[in-house]
Chain A
Amino acid sequence: MTGLYELVWRVLHALLCLHRTLTYWLRVRFGTWNWIWRRCCRAASAAVLAPLGFTLRKPRAVGRNRRQHRHPRGGPGAAAAHPRLRWRADARSLEKLPVHMGLLITEEEQETSYSDIASLVVWCMAVGISYISVYDHQGIFKRNNSRLMDEILKQQQELLGLDCSKYSTEFANSNDKDEQVLNCQSAVKVLSPEDGKADIVRAAQEFCQLVAQQQKKSTDLDVHMLDSLLSSNGFPDPDVVLKFGPVESTLGFLPWQLRLTEIISLPSHLNIRYEDFFSALRQYAACEQRLGK
C-alpha cells in the first residue's frame, strides 16, 4: 500500500513540477502565447482541483496583454508617445507608491539577466521610487556589482534619455569614485545574505564590545538601539519586495527590515515586461496595512 501512495505522490509531484517548468519556460519564451497557455492551465487546473476542494488564488491583475515592447515606447494614446509622461502618470494613478522596493532574484546564476534587472531598476526610478535594493542569496550581484551598475547606467540613458541629471542615481554601496550624485533621486543598493543575519550579528558584536569596555550596559539594548547599529540605518525599510523565480522563500533577505514588507511573487525576471512590473505596483497599492489595530 505504501508503494502505491509513493507512486501516486511521484506522479502528482512530477505533474506539478512539469506544470511549473512549462509555465516558466513559456512565459520566458513566448510572452503572448504564454498568456493564452496560462488561461488554459488555470481552467484545466480548476477543473481537476475543484472536486478535491482546492481553491486557486485569484489571478493577479496582470496588465492587458498588449503585444508591446518590453519598454513602453510606442503604442496608442498621446501619453504613450512620451514614455516619461506615461511613467509619471502611472505613478500618480496609484493610491500609494513604495518608498523602498526590493528586487529579490531566486533564480540560479546561469539564468540571471543583468539587462532585465537593470530594466526593473530603471522602471523603479522612472515611476519615482526613491530606494531600490537588488538581492540574491548567492551574492552574485554583489560580486558583479560593476557589471550591474554599468547595465543600469546604460538603460538609464536609453530609457530616460540624455536628461539623466534629473534621475541621477546614487549607488549606495559602490566603491567607484565616479558616482553620479547630483540631484539624488534614487539610491540603488546591491545586497546579499551578508546584509541580513550576518549584519545583525556584527551589530550585536559591536554592542557587546561596548559592554565589555563598560561604555554600555546590557540592559541599554532595545529594538531602537539595535536598529540604529545596523548597516541599513538611514535607509528606510522596504515597503515591498518583488520576488522573482520559483523559490517560495525570502532566502535570507534582510530579515530585520522585512517586518512589514509586502512580498509579491512574480514567476521570473527574464524578459520581464513593464506591464508585469506595474501590475505588481498596483497590487502593492491595493493592500491595506492595519499595523496591529
Chain B
Amino acid sequence: MSWIKEGKLSLWERFCANIIKAGPMPKHIAFIMDGNRRYAKKCQVDRKEGHLHGFNKLAETLHWCLNLGIREVTVYAFSIENFKRSKSEVDGLMDMARQKFSLLLEEKCFLNICFAYTSRYEISSAVREMAWGVEQGLLDPSDVSESLLDKCLYTCHSPNPDILIRTSGEVRLSDFLLWQASHSCLVFQPILWPEYVFWNLCEAILQFQMNHSMLQKARDMYTEERKRQQLERDQAAVTEQLLQEGLQASGDAQLRRTRLHKLSARREERVQGFLQALELKRADWLAHLGTASA
C-alpha cells in the first residue's frame, strides 16, 4: 500500500491546478511542518495525535505535489534542538518515523527528510569534509569555494528549493536549509500544519510565480558576481606565478590565457578526485551504519 495517498484531486482542484501549471512551476519545495502541537491543543487531543495528523497531512501534501508535477520535497521532521523535548514525545516521534518512512522507499519521487538536523551542523560538516580533502592531499585550500561547499552538503544531489514554506504563522527559518534557501521564495503561512489544504499550496505557488523573475534575476546576478571574483582570484594567482618565475606579469597575453586555463583545469581535476573519494567515504559509512544496526 502506498503511503503517499493515491486518489484524485476534485474537478475544481484539477482545474485550478491546470491554471497554475501554465505558469513557472517549482521543481523542489521545502516545508517546515510547524503547528502539530498547537493543533493538538486546539482540538484538545494529546500531542502524539497532533503529530499523527501532521504525518497524514504530509502524505496528502506529497500527493498534491505529485499532481502538480513537483517531484522533490524536503521536510524538516526533527531538529537536533527537538531532543530538548520530553522523552515520551521524542520516543513517540521516533517510533512514528520508523513506521511511516519505511513505506516511502517504493515511491517515484524524491522526499528528503531532515531528521536530527540543523543547517549549521550541515554546513560545518561540509567544511570538515573539505578540510579532510586537504588533509588527504586531494585538495588545496584555495580550491575551497561556494560550489564545492554545495557539493559537500547532505543535499548535494538536490537542486536548491524553489520555495520554502513554513506553516503556523512563525516567520523564522529555525536552522533549516539556511545555505540552500538563501535565494528561495519564502512563504510564511499562518495556518497550522495539520489544517493545511490544497489552496494553501496553490497560494504558495502563486507567490513563487509572482517572485520568479525577480529571484531568477537576483540569482543570475549573484552567480555572475561569484564567477567574476573567481576569475579575479585566478588572475592574481597567475600573476604571482609569473612573477615568481621572473617573467613579466602583464606580458604575453597568450601565456596568461594558457596559465589561467591550466590553473582552472588542474583545480577541476583535484575537485573531481576529491568528490569521488568523498562519495566512497560516504558509501562506506552508510554500509557500516547498515551492518552496525543489523
Interface: A198 (CB within 8 A): yes
Task: Report the Cα distance A225→B178, complex, angstroms.
Answer: 18
Given known A201-B144, A211-B134, contact A13–B23 (CB-CB < 8 A): yes
Convert B173-194 into 0s and 1s, putting 1 for each residue whose CB lies closer than 8 angstroms to a CB of A.
Answer: 1110011011111111111000
Interface set, chain B 75-132, CB cutoff 8 A to A: 79-85, 119-121, 123-124, 127-132
Interface: B199 (CB within 8 A): yes
Contact of A287 among B146, B171, B183, B206 (CB under 8 A): B171
Interface set, chain A 218-269, CB cutoff 8 A to B: 218-219, 221-223, 225-227, 246-253, 255-256, 258-264
Task: Report the Cα distance A263→B198, complex, angstroms.
Answer: 25
Q: Contact at A218–B134, with CB atoms within 8 Å?
A: yes
Q: Contact at B85–A208, with CB atoms within 8 Å?
A: no
Interface: B170 (CB within 8 A): yes
Number of A-B contacts (CB under 8 A): 181
CB distance from A24 to the nearest CB of B (A): 12
Contact of B81 among A198, A200, A222, A291 (CB under 8 A): A291
Interface: B142 (CB within 8 A): yes
Interface: B21 (CB within 8 A): yes
Task: Report the Cα distance A181→B176, complex, angstroms.
Answer: 37
Contact size class for B? 35 or more
Interface set, chain A 1-38, CB cutoff 8 A to B: 1-2, 5-6, 8-10, 12-13, 16-17, 20
Chain B facing A: main interface SS: helix
Task: Report the Cα distance A205→B187, complex, angstroms.
Answer: 33
A residues within 8 A CB of B80?
292
Interface set, chain A 42-61, CB cutoff 8 A to B: 52-55, 57-58
Interface: A73 (CB within 8 A): no
Q: Contact at A259–B144, with CB atoms within 8 Å?
A: no
B residues within 8 A CB of A96?
none
Interface: B236 (CB within 8 A): no
Q: Contact at A262–B141, with CB atoms within 8 Å?
A: no
Task: Report the Cα distance A289→B175, complex, angstroms.
Answer: 13
Give chain A's interface residues, CB within 8 Å of chain B: 1-2, 5-6, 8-10, 12-13, 16-17, 20, 52-55, 57-58, 137-138, 193, 196-198, 200-201, 203-205, 207-209, 211-212, 216-219, 221-223, 225-227, 246-253, 255-256, 258-264, 287, 289, 291-293
- Other A-B pairs, 16, CB within 8 Å; known A54-B202, A225-B124: A5-B19, A12-B206, A52-B199, A137-B218, A198-B229, A216-B131, A223-B120, A246-B214, A248-B207, A251-B218, A252-B222, A256-B123, A258-B173, A258-B178, A264-B171, A287-B170
